[in-house]
A = this chain, B = another copy of it.
Amino acid sequence: MSDNGPTRDRLADAAGRLFQERGYAATGLNDILALAKAPKGSLYHHFTDGKEGLAIAAAKQAGARFLDTIRDDAALSRDSADMIVRFAGRLAGWLEQSDFRLGCPLATLTLEQAAVSDRLAETLSQIFASWQDALAERLETDRLDAGRSEALAGLALCSIEGALILARARRTSAPVRQAANTLAGIIGDEIRLRPA
């Protein structure tokens, strides 16, 4: 089928968008088909395991996109403190443009995965690890040692993830920008104070 790729991608994209906004349980297969403008038969053709398969594909697609964004921001920034502010600014912009509906693309799936499958949990875990590794790599470029880079990357990932939750509750991007600024100040100091 010539549209194998595009239809599958459209379905995964639509599913990802709806899971991100409303959650997994609250999203019906018909909502996904309608948003993807895809015929009913296409869903089970591309995703023989139905909604679970869609969730895994949606997570992988969103995870890869986020990873590209982190890597882009890492390459564009003058140091890892700047990277955190840049990445958080981008997330804050997305939140604002979506009326505070679009936070982390994996958060709702993560909170619901226990009711879905171990395979989904494993996929989510790998994606979070890939984001943390990309942050840690940029920290190492600033000559922070591997252990410290990993610890700060973990703290950065957790604080951005949590700030996205608080931003949705408060309906302002302030928590994301503030957490990033505080963290960037701390990381900037560590970079300045590192042994020459």
Q: Hey, which bits of chain A sit against chain B, CB under 8 A?
A: 21-26, 100-101, 103-104, 106-108, 110-115, 121, 124-125, 128, 151-152, 154-155, 157-166, 168-171, 175, 178-179, 181-183, 186
Chain B residue at minimal CB-CB distance from A153: B182
Give complex CA distance A25, B103 in Å: 18
Most buried by B among A100, A154, A166: A166
Expressed in whole angstroms, the minimum distance between the Cβ of A44 and any Cβ of chain B is: 23
Which secondary structure dominates where chain A touches chain B? helix
**Chain B residues within 8 Å of A113, by CB:** 168-169
Contact assessment for A114 and B100 in the assembled complex, using a CB-CB cutoff below 8 Å: yes
Contact assessment for B128 and A114 in the assembled complex, using a CB-CB cutoff below 8 Å: no
Partner of A114, one of B21, B104, B179, B183: B21
Closest 5 CB pairs of A and B: A161-B162, A162-B162, A25-B26, A158-B162, A159-B159
Expressed in whole angstroms, the minimum distance between the Cβ of A183 and any Cβ of chain B is: 6
Chain B residue at minimal CB-CB distance from A103: B111
Contact assessment for B151 and A110 in the assembled complex, using a CB-CB cutoff below 8 Å: no
Contact assessment for B25 and A121 in the assembled complex, using a CB-CB cutoff below 8 Å: no
Contact assessment for A161 and B168 in the assembled complex, using a CB-CB cutoff below 8 Å: no
Contact assessment for B121 and A169 in the assembled complex, using a CB-CB cutoff below 8 Å: yes
